[in-house]
Amino acid sequence: MIGHRIKKARLDKQLTQSALANVIGVKSQSVHQWEAGTANPRGDRLSKLAMALTVTPQWLQFGDESTPIKNVKTFGEVELFLSSNEFKSYVNEAMTKTIIDSSRMGWLQLSRPDMTVDVISDYFYLRLNEIVGITLNANNSTDKEVINKRI
């Protein structure tokens, strides 16, 4: 149950319900209701809750232990993960599925979906890195060159 996982993660972080509520910008009543199982965090609140507890939204919702951000303790670890090739592959996979599904549903019209998906995924990852404030490391420095050649 999501409430038990929220409480466990909160106690692991040695936070009170009020302190957790302040961190994520909700009333302490909300945290109490989530832990009691009378309400569930949704959307942005679920994401903020997961970040504050350094777990993934999937773990909070489903107890999925196979998440890539297990046991993240510091912002530095999050930053390291976000700049990793593992994260890039997750982003590319999600972007590819989104673009292909959007094309199949008629939301996008692409002349060459195979080429477009790769370009958009790479470009999206580059922009994500810029927004998050992570610089590309030496292993990823060619991404910018590849994108510029494709555009």
More confident residue, 66 or 32: 32
Whether 42 and 91 share a structural domain: no
55 shares its domain with 82? no
Distance from chain centroid for Cα 31:
21
Q: Is residue 67 part of a domain?
A: no
Residue range 1-42, pLDDT digits in tens? 889 999 999 998 899 999 999 988 999 999 999 999 999 998
Residue 143, domain member (yes or no):
yes
Residues 143 and 125 sit within 8 Å (Cβ to Cβ): yes
* Listed residues 11, 30, 62: the one ending a domain: 62
* Angle, vertex CA 98, rays to CA 93 and CA 99, nearest 5: 100
User: How many domains, in total, are found in the chain?
Assistant: 2
| Domain extent at residue 121 | 75-150
Q: Are 41 and 89 contained in the same domain?
A: no
Are 90 and 132 members of one domain? Answer: yes
- The reply to whether the predicted model has a pTM over 0.85 is no
- Identify whether residues 84 and 137 lie together within a single domain: yes
Instruction: Kindly give, in sequence order, each residue whose CB lies less than 8 Å from that of residue 39, ignoring residues fewer than 6 positions away.
Output: 30, 33
- Identify whether residues 84 and 139 lie together within a single domain: yes
pLDDT band at 76 (very low <50, low <70, confident <90, very high): low
Say whether pLDDT at 69 is over 90: no
What pLDDT sits at residue 146?
40
Measured CA distances, 61 to 30, 34, 69, 82 (Å): 16, 11, 15, 22
Closest CA to 20 of 63, 69, 68, 60: 60
Does 144 map to a domain? Answer: yes
Tens digits of residue pLDDT in 101-145: 777 788 777 776 666 666 777 777 777 766 665 554 444 444 444
What is the model's pLDDT at position 48? 87
CATH number, residue 46: 1.10.260.40
**Does residue 147 register a pLDDT over 60?**
no
Q: Are both 39 and 85 inside the same structural domain? A: no
